[in-house]
Amino acid sequence: MIEKEDPVITEEEAAQYDRQIRLWGLDAQKRLRGSRVLLAGLGGLGAEVAKNLILAGVKGLTMLDHETVSEESCRAQFLAPVTARGQNRAIASLERAQNLNPMVEVHADSDRVENKPDDFFLQFDAVCLMGCSRDLMVRVDQLCSQHSIKVFCGHVYGYYGYMFCNLGREHSYVEEKPKVVKPKTENSNDGPEAKKAKVDANETTMVKKTMSFCSLKEALEVDWTTEKAKAGLKRTPVDYFLLHVLLKFRTDKGRDPDPQCFAEDCETLKQIRGDVLEALGVGSDLLSEDFVSFCFSEMSPVCAVVGGVLGQEVVKALSQRDPPHRNFFFFDGRKGNGMVDFFGPK
């Protein structure tokens, strides 16, 4: 981890972030203002996360993407102009991203994230990997965990979206709670009711807490053959197993399901579904075949929801304010609902 100076909020920044400072406090804003974030993957979800982090007021944001702007990507990616087709997606997004908040240092990097050496990731306080392969996410997560760097992963597949975060073995944060007023003990004639502690809704106090996280590798390698896992299978969101299928598709094909190859990719997804669920030791009927009709392309509304949640989780983690999601968030655009669930060793 790089050494950081104690960030100072200028009068201009105090005016810019006035609402946020009143919402979560000056200390939280200062921690956020002193943080540098890497965002790899500037698709529709990446654009939403970039927007949210820039507006929140991090110190610096590096947007890393080797892909080019295409007609497909423009449907959900609002930072890259339509006129920039064929150009690098990170560079094409730089101007609009910077205009969101001139106080944030926004940089564009056109390299492949897979080609970056380990030292590259160590200059950031948080690393966000959007639409990356399972092997890359596991590699970066393990590396960053060793150096106390917070890791976030996510992607949107049609109507489905997910987010994963690893904030380390001991993430500290503060939470605002209603203040509990202890009863006075000198007057014992007021009866037993007077001796009970009361909650004062008009006053709050800050409570320090900690939460532990596991690695992405541990979260994805749950042993579903144990009796405990089988017992909890009915309460497990099917999105978790869907994620396994979609990550395996990317591993095998080197890409996400493509609308231009709809029929072919549907058959491949069904085959992968059977192989993955069998390997995990769960029933093949756990994930119905109709999922293949809803996991193509990045849909803007789904990107907005998942990007909003993911961006807020990065802000909470860096500012050390409020309890974070632990450790998966799944969103199903067909039902319009999201779910937070933890996978991995308890």
Half-sphere exposure of 12 (CA within 13 A, CB side): 4
Tell me the pLDDT tens digit for each residue of 7-46: 778 888 888 888 888 888 889 999 999 999 999 999 999 9
> What pLDDT does 199 receive?
67
Res 295 pLDDT > 80: yes
Q: Mean of the pLDDT values across residues 156-182?
A: 91
Tokens for 177? Answer: 């709670």
DSSP letter string, 90-101: HHHHHHHHHHH-
Q: Are residues 179 and 158 in the same domain?
A: no
Tokens for 157? Answer: 């597949």
Q: Is residue 197 assigned to a domain?
A: yes
Res 6 pLDDT > 70: no
Q: Is residue 267 assigned to a domain?
A: yes
> What pLDDT does 24 receive?
83
Q: Are residues 247 and 321 in the same domain?
A: no
Mean pLDDT of the chain: 91
Q: Is residue 4 assigned to a domain?
A: no
Above pLDDT 90, what percent of the chain?
75
Q: Is residue 54 assigned to a domain?
A: yes
Sheet order of strands, 328-332 included: 105-109, 60-64, 36-40, 126-130, 150-157, 160-166, 328-332, 337-341
Query: Containing domain of residue 312, as a range?
Result: 11-170+299-338
Q: Are residues 54 and 76 in the same domain?
A: yes
Tell me the pLDDT tens digit for each residue of 49-83: 999 999 999 999 999 999 999 888 878 899 999 89
CATH number for the domain spanning 69: value is 3.40.50.720
Q: Are residues 46 and 119 in the same domain?
A: yes
For residue 197, what pLDDT band results from cuts at 50, 70 and 90?
low
Half-sphere exposure of 256 (CA within 13 A, CB side): 18
Res 192 pLDDT > 90: no
Q: Are residues 65 and 111 in the same domain?
A: yes
- Contact (CB, 8 A) for 57 and 20: yes
Tell me the pLDDT tens digit for each residue of 227-273: 988 888 889 999 999 999 999 999 999 999 999 999 999 999 999 99
> What pLDDT does 176 receive?
85
Residues 152 and 168: their CA atoms lie apart, in Å, by: 11
Q: Are residues 33 and 160 in the same domain?
A: yes
Please count the structural domains in the chain.
Answer: 3
For residue 193, what pLDDT band results from cuts at 50, 70 and 90?
low
Phi, psi (deg, nearest 5) at residue 201: -70, -15
> What pLDDT does 2 receive?
44
For residue 180, what pLDDT band results from cuts at 50, 70 and 90?
confident
Tell me the pLDDT tens digit for each residue of 80-121: 998 999 999 999 999 999 999 999 999 999 999 999 999 999
Q: Model-level pTM?
A: 0.91
Highest mean pLDDT among 201-205, 221-225, 248-252, 286-290: 248-252
